[in-house]
Amino acid sequence: MPEESSLSHSSSMKGRVGMYELGQTIGQGTFAKVKYARHLCTGRSFAIKILEKETILKNKMVQLIKREISTMKLVKHPNIVQLHEVMASKTKVYFVLEYVTGGEFFEKIVSSKFHNEKGRLSEREARKYFHQLINAVNYCHSQGVYHRDLKPENLLLDANGNLKISDFGLSALSEQCLKDGLLHTTCGTPNYVAPEVIYENGYDGAKADLWSCGVILFVLLAGFLPFEENNVLLLYKKIRKGDYNCPSWFSSGAQNLLKQILNPNAKQRITFAKILEDPWFKEGYKPAKFVFDQGVNLDDVDAVFSESNVQLETEKRKLQVSRPVSLNAFDLISFSPGLNLSGLFEMKQSFKLETRFTSKYPAPEIISKMEETARPLGFTVKKCDYKMTLRGVETGRKGFLSIITEVFEVAPSLFVVEVRKAGGDTLEYHKFCQSFSEGLKDIVWQTEAEMDVSSG
């Protein structure tokens, strides 16, 4: 376990983790901070990403962190930020990373000497960076790693101006694919995400990453995004259709390659192998030179948390979920077929197997009210955080009626409640919904127009 001194620096002592002396904070994210560090024996510079174990547990991120460690140990490439070591104390996890001194790629390109009056890179320079991006991403896929959040903000430059991919927090490994061979977790940044990722039918991680690479190439050449709308629904409609226009200054070769990459039909999208044969791409292309690491050992990934298992189990019992799962734009869209949110926030009595309503009441009050309403209707209740399972005490036409409810947070004072049938007869379920909704009418949020109708 690394020695961990106070992180408040004094004139005589700086923070220290193992054999690394910590310096100033050079980056800050939602769940982690990054500090400059110097190895005490070699004097080499590193960047150390620091995560609090309490935060990891509270946000149920243990598997995510383990996956990020596994991913970064697998990808050893000159155009990827390298993970040198992972350490853990009783309260923190430390990623010792390559220290990249060239700054963020996104900031660099707008002030580069190659940047022209139109706010874009020259085609020659854009192609050079695209070569490096494709080299690195293609290598990741050869190792069974899919990044899933490729964008200029996750690219860095080293001291020689070479591109480095960073932030594998949303990455996936090939073994996460289901039996259909596809990934099914919706994630990424809206403007850069592939159309097939938005929907729930699964997607090929390599094809999705390639789409994001195409969006990045467009940004380098144009100085702006190919798909951009203030309304996220309109944005996704454009992405789904592949609705973009190349500026007049794009060469025919660049336009042709982009057309093949930004094809909304993933099955017809160009492959990495075909990109390497493309005439526009091949101009000035130099494959990356490196030695494949065949000795990667992932057996020690669990050790990051095993050093303090007793403490972690104690913390898990203490760290009860303080709030429901949050919904993002992807979740809202998946709740509403056809990208239409108009019917999301109202109680439906049609013959569906699930229904939703919104409430401005605190989440614990919503759970209590639902429990209070369900029991007199003849249901037993089992609760786990903000989920409830309701089971009829009497058998129906198709066995016991079973219903699952869950509360989701849309905003600090707005919650979506999902109610769905898990078993039993559909007609009995809809009769239950009618009685259940009547009992919950005091906590269901209504718009002013709806209140006017109900009062009229």
Q: Measured between alpha carbons, how far is residue 247 from residues 118, 223, 276 in Å?
A: 11, 10, 24
Residue with tokens 């004097």: 43
- Residue 323: which of 381, 406, 444 has the closest Cα? 406
Give the number of other CB atoms < 10 A from CB of residue 426.
Answer: 14
Instruction: Name every residue whose Cβ is closer than 8 Å to that of residue 163 and which is 6 or more positions away in sequence.
Output: 79, 105, 129, 132, 133, 136, 155, 156, 157
Active site residue 278: no
Task: Give the pair of three-digit tokens for residue 240.
Answer: 């789904």
Print pLDDT tens along the chain (456 aa): 554 443 333 333 368 888 899 999 988 777 889 999 999 989 999 999 999 988 888 888 888 888 888 888 888 899 999 999 888 888 899 999 999 988 888 776 666 544 455 557 889 999 999 999 999 999 999 989 999 999 998 999 999 989 999 988 888 888 888 888 898 888 889 999 999 998 868 999 999 999 999 999 999 999 899 999 988 889 999 999 999 999 999 999 999 999 999 999 999 999 999 999 999 999 999 888 766 555 566 666 776 766 444 344 444 444 444 567 776 666 665 565 444 444 444 444 444 567 888 888 888 889 889 999 998 899 988 887 788 889 888 877 777 888 989 898 887 788 889 898 888 888 888 888 889 988 898 888 865 444 444 555
Q: Which of 149, 167, 204, 209 is catalytic?
A: 149
Q: Measured between alpha carbons, how far is residue 258 from residues 119, 156, 242, 269, 280 in Å?
A: 20, 23, 11, 10, 10
DSSP 225-281: -SS--SSHHHHHHHHHHT-----TTS-HHHHHHHHHHS-S-GGGSPPHHHHTT-HHH
- Residue 189: which of 162, 223, 216, 164 has the closest Cα? 216
Identical topology for domains 16-99 and 325-449 = no
Q: Is 286 a known ligand-binding residue?
A: no
Pseudo-torsion of CA 279, 281, 284, 286, nearest 10°?
Answer: -120
Crossing angle of helices 426-440 and 363-374, in 10° steps, is 120
What architecture is domain 105-282? Answer: Orthogonal Bundle (1.10)
Q: Which residue ranges make up each domain of the chain?
A: 16-99, 105-282, 325-449
CATH 3.30.310.80 fits 325-449, yes or no: yes
What architecture is domain 16-99? Answer: 2-Layer Sandwich (3.30)
Report the C-alpha gap between 372 and 202 in whole angstroms: 39
